[in-house]
Structures are given as structure tokens and as C-alpha cells.
A = this chain, B = another copy of it.
Amino acid sequence: MTNIRDLAKMAGVSVTTVSRVLNNHPYVREEKKLAVLDAIKKSDYQQNINAVHLSKGKTFLVGVVIPYSDHPYFALLINGMANEALKENYKLVLIQTSYERNKEIEALQMLKQKQIDALIICSRICEWSTIEEYTTYGPIVLFEDTKGKEVSSTFIDHYKCFLFALEYLFKKGHKKIGYCIGRRSGTNSKYREAAYKDFIEKYSISNNPEYIFDHCLYFEDGEKVVSRIKEMTDPPTALLVTSDQVAAGIVTCAKSQNIFIPSDLALIGFDNQPIAKMMNITTIEIPLAEIGKKLFLQAISDNKEVTNEEIKVHLIERKTV
């Protein structure tokens, strides 16, 4: 495999000159440049990128921590990042954690090892203090509110958002409102839980723990929700469903169980995924691709300043409320 030294020999110049033409630096006579270019052509030379990385101390790689890659929510987010990465000549390294703590730490280690220039954490499992230990090794960007902390973020105010949706349902006459979330322990879920608690307190609604459904991530999870509702003596009349996928599953399954939507059960989904549009599901639009883009841009920004940008969401009224 030809290296820069071979090239120099072939072209009858120094390695510096070769490096200069390789990197389009000034100060090289046209004649020598041509000689180098010629040598490159003849030799099937290819830069060893690791050597460049080592020398420059930069890799143009950005790590992305996600729990699963097979969920549209994260897929949309990644799409946003990937498109931007392409433009900026970066590559994305996917670190799929399945919510295992040690895999998230591995991602953090990659940053420390300089294998990646920055790290984007889309869904965190580690305690905050652990993340904090790594902030000195490079930019870490989160998809959750980190105001007051020393890292940048782009995020949704899930508390506000959830409360808004609950009150919207309340105004439509619903008093028995339940909700479906992914994992109960997530940061987002905490905010949503808080919003729910404040909501039922404000309107003096009695708390019914049965109305909270967790492990709702995929279309097929809608089935469990419907069958549990079927069994209830006092079922909810409306549901906030934190993924359109699940909402679509509920709609599909409800039909076959003779539960009418929205008359028997009103539904608000989240994300405004294509499936929501097709199935006419009222949903809260979350611009995931845009968020992905912003997260990425924050990650590669040289500017050391910490920024925390809240992304506004809005309700799209369709036929399930």
C-alpha cells in the first residue's frame, strides 16, 4: 500500500509538498503539484485516515446513543442527523444501548478515547453525574432539557406538552383520561407523570393507576392496551398515547373489538408520524428530523458556548378526538 513517502519519492518532492497538494494548501508550484497528482494516479494511493485523525486529533465522527434503531421515533431523529452529517462531511456512529447502562458508558468512553469528536445522547439511562464526568472530553449533546447544566441540548418541554394535551381533552369533556408511555423510568416519563399528577389535582380528578399503560412502544403494543381496557369496569374515555405507532395499533385493534373511536375512546398520539396522517389520528407534532438536525449542529459547533433550545410542538386535529 502506497503511502505519502512513496508518493514523495515518485514525484521527486518532499512529503510536505505531497501533504500540501493533498490538503490543497498554498505554496506549491504548479509543476510539482502536477507531478504529485500524477504519482497519485499511478499509484492507487489512498490516505490512511487513521493517521490523519491521529495527527489532527479529530475524527469527523459523531456518536449517537439510541436505545433502539427499529423505532420510527428514533429513525426520524437519526434521519435528521444523518442528512446534516452528510452536508458537513461527518459520519455518524450508532451506539445502540437497549437501555443498558454499560453500553452508554462505552459511548462515553469513545469520546474520551477520541474515537468520536462529539456525542449525542437521544435517550439517557445513566445518572446525570456519570455524564458529567465526561463533559471535559468533548461536546456532549442531549435530547432533554439540560438548562443549568454544562451541556447543550435541544428538547421538548414534555411537562407543558402533556399538560396542554390533557387540558385539551378535558375541555372536550373528558374526565377519565389515561396515558400510554414507553418506559416508566425515562426522563420524559417523569415530566409527563408530573403533568398528569398536577392535572388531576387541579381538576379534582381521582387518580386511577389502571389508566397508566407502560411498555407502549410499537404498533403491536396497542393490542395489550385495548384488551386491558376491555376488561375494565370503569375504562378511560380518552388516552394520551406517546407514540403514533401505538395509537395506530390501538385504533386498529379497537375496531375489531367494537370500541368506537372517538366516541368510546378518544385518542391523541405523539410525533405526527406518517401513519398518523394516514389513519387520521389527532396527534401532537414533534419535528423529530428538525430536532435531529439541531442536535447534530450543536454537537459539531466549535463554539464552546452551551445552548439549550426548546422546540415548540403543536396539536394537529384529526379524527380521533
A interface residues with partner B (beta carbon < 8 Å): 46-51, 53-54, 59, 61, 68-72, 75-76, 78-79, 82, 86, 91-96, 103, 109-110, 112-115, 137, 218-220, 222-223, 248-249, 252-253, 255, 274-275, 277-279
Task: Report whether A51 and B49 are in contact in the complex, using a CB–CB cutoff of 8 Å.
Answer: no
Which residues from chain B contact A252 at a C-beta distance below 8 Å? 252, 278-279
In the assembled complex, the CB of A225 is this many whole angstroms from the nearest CB of chain B, namely 12
Number of copies: 2
Task: Report whether A49 and B275 are in contact in the complex, using a CB–CB cutoff of 8 Å.
Answer: no
A115 to B115, CA, bound (A): 11
Which residues from chain B contact A50 at a C-beta distance below 8 Å? 50, 53-54, 59, 114-115
How would you classify the secondary structure of chain A's contact residues: helix, strand, loop or mixed? helix
Task: Report whether B49 and A114 are in contact in the complex, using a CB–CB cutoff of 8 Å.
Answer: yes
A91 to B65, CA, bound (A): 12
Among B49, B59, B220, the residue within 8 A (CB) of A277 is B220
Task: Report whether B219 and A274 are in contact in the complex, using a CB–CB cutoff of 8 Å.
Answer: yes
Question: Provided the pairs A92-B93, A252-B252, A278-B220 are in contact, do residues A86 and B70 lie with their beta carbons within 8 angstroms?
Answer: no
Task: Report whether B94 and A82 are in contact in the complex, using a CB–CB cutoff of 8 Å.
Answer: yes
Task: Report whether B220 and A49 are in contact in the complex, using a CB–CB cutoff of 8 Å.
Answer: no
A275 to B71, CA, bound (A): 13
Task: Report whether A92 and B94 are in contact in the complex, using a CB–CB cutoff of 8 Å.
Answer: yes
Other contacts beyond A71-B75, A91-B95, A255-B255: 7, CB < 8 A? A47-B113, A69-B79, A70-B75, A70-B78, A86-B96, A220-B275, A222-B278
